Structure 1
């Protein structure tokens, strides 16, 4: 009889990422050197949902963006879903990428929590985004975003 090994338990978490445009510029943020997983790489604001399952998703992304980059936003519709497994293999994250409209444009890191590990927010022209070293799980999402923008004209 074959021996079966049991995999470690996996926790499922949900995240949202905000694709915030100002004209032809997208807001990116750099992971700080202190980030335990992707130091120095770039991503968009957003994060995992750490409240009750009945939490309002629009409020969640508004709060994440406010805490990470100090912007007020109007959340728009999701345009892409994807997943990744956190290092260690115990947490699977399912994420939604959302179009978001900025209500304010001045970024600030003043509201961050220590676990955000973000620095250097930057409004990046869409034509230059492909040249940034994005976190690996965000790369296919960014390609989908840029294709949608190009198709929209």
Structure 2
């Protein structure tokens, strides 16, 4: 007899976040009031992999950064892995997102939100001094990643 399914199906997705650093500053972006999960909270650029469109992981993080903040970057290696769960509003499935954080070196320094897609819900890209990052209302799942980033940056 098959085991009865009591929870919605679980879909796995992959995401990357770009910790873009320049001169002791981190590029952060604020979620707009229209964001369905974290309105007004702060994060770093990045997003989920598009399996049909992204050629590789470096291509993926470059695309996300370009779309969300209009910068060109050189991606570095991952420094932190984590996951979160969220509902898929269209299908009702649960989604497990496994994510990698990467330090990226900017090749340009003037952020813009004009390349965003309608679902990005990001505003106010800002270069934040590293010693002021904890003063921002961060997305809760991002806090351990920021802690790992700041430890890494202090050690380097």
Structure 1 residues 5 and 59: CA distance shift in structure 2, 3 A: closer
Q: 1: distance between equivalents of 2:127 and 2:103?
A: 15
Note if contact 2:54-2:60 (Cα within 8 Å) is conserved in structure 1.
no
Q: Which residue of the partner structure matches residue 107 of structure 1?
A: 111
CA contact (8 A) 2:8 2:94 kept: yes
State yes or no: 1:141 paired with 2:151: no
**Counterpart position of 2:59:** 59
Deviation at 1:55, TM superposition (A): 2.9
- Compared with structure 1, are the counterparts of its residues 120 and 14 closer, same or farther at alpha carbon in structure 2 (3 Å cutoff)? same
**How far did 1:48 drift?**
0.4
1:127 and 1:140 map into 2 onto residues whose CA distance is 16
TM-score (norm 1): 0.93
TM superposition shift of 1:53: 8.8
Cα deviations by residue, 1:37-58 (Å, 9 ceiling, x for unpaired): 0000000000001223983110
The yes-or-no answer on 1:128 pairing with 2:116 is no
Unaligned runs of 5+ in 1: none
Larger mean Cα displacement after TM superposition, 3-12 or 127-136: 3-12
CA distance in 1, matches of 2:59, 2:53: 13
**Aligned counterparts, 1:29-108, within 5 A:** 29-52=29-52, 55-87=55-87, 90-108=94-112
Cα separation, 1, equivalents of 2:12 and 2:5: 21
SS of the residue 1:116 aligns to: coil
| TM-score, reference length from structure 2 | 0.91
Matched position secondary structure for 1:38: coil
Distance 2:141 2:28 in 1: 15
Structure-1 residue corresponding to 2:11: 11
Deviation (angstroms), 1:86? 1.0
